Chain A
Amino acid sequence: AQSVTQPDIHITVSEGASLELRCNYSYGATPYLFWYVQSPGQGLQLLLKYFSGDTLVQGIKGFEAEFKRSQSSFNLRKPSVHWSDAAEYFCAVGARTASKLTFGTGTRLQVTL
């Protein structure tokens, strides 16, 4: 069965500091991996996705993620966090079409000024 683990429930960083959110997955086939961001009371916005090819994926809002097959990880990074990045971040694995996704439990990011 497929699963996603986000070990960090809550992370606080200072504005301007770098960020890394961890994600580990378990998937029987070729994993298609996604990172979504959710602001309070809102739906999900796709930050980036990995299907194949270059293991370092660039997304929107300055985010990037690196796929490491040997570690079954897909960590999300940003060099310099902005206060507007405060939100809930979800890692997900599933089909290439982003349908029937299995989500992690999410990491809540707080940004201090």
Chain B
Amino acid sequence: GAVVSQHPSWVICKSGTSVKIECRSLDFQATTMFWYRQFPKQSLMLMATSNEGSKATYEQGVEKDKFLINHASLTLSTLTVTSAHPEDSSFYICSARGGGPGTEAFFGQGTRLTVV
């Protein structure tokens, strides 16, 4: 299957700082990427959908100004958690879909963010 890579795998940051998480499609061009958040012992919740070259579409309740998503190229999307607080600590996972609506999305390995 196609490979989606996230970086970093884990990160610890101080409260008030910003953290950038990268999601790359390694062997295909990802026209659409999805960002999910997973709280400990809970399920994944979709945060936003990003299409290459356009603004991301955020799910209800997700703060656009806090979770900045950029999808500037067909192989890279970034999620920046701005002014991070301890409650932002979570596991963030991206998935990427190449081609048109008929193609499958593949998941990255996730990034564990801890804000101290």
By a beta-carbon cutoff of 8 Å, the part of chain B in contact with chain A is 1, 4, 6, 9-10, 32, 34, 42-46, 49, 91, 93, 95, 97, 101-110, 112
Number of A-B pairs, beta carbon distance below 8 Å: 57
In the docked arrangement, what's the CA distance between A102 and B102, Å? 18
- Cα distance A95–B9 when bound, in Å? 28
Given A41-B112, A42-B110, CB of A97 within 8 Å of CB of B42: no
A90 and B49 within 8 A (CB)? no
B97 to chain A, nearest CB (A): 5
**Sample of 13 A–B contacts (CB below 8 Å):** A41-B91, A41-B110, A42-B110, A44-B93, A46-B107, A95-B101, A96-B102, A97-B101, A98-B105, A99-B95, A100-B49, A102-B46, A103-B43
Other 18 A-B pairs with CB < 8 A, given A36-B107, A44-B93, A96-B102? A41-B112, A43-B107, A43-B108, A43-B109, A44-B44, A46-B1, A90-B43, A90-B44, A97-B97, A97-B101, A97-B104, A97-B105, A98-B105, A99-B95, A100-B46, A102-B46, A103-B43, A106-B42
A58 at the interface (CB under 8 A from B): no
Chain B residues touching A, majority SS: strand
A99-B34, A99-B49 known; A44+B107 contact, CB < 8 A? yes
B97 touches A43 (CB 8 A): no
Contacts of A100 in B (CB 8 A): 34, 46, 49
Q: Which of A36, A99, A103, A106 is close to B32, meaning CB atoms less than 8 Å apart?
A: A99
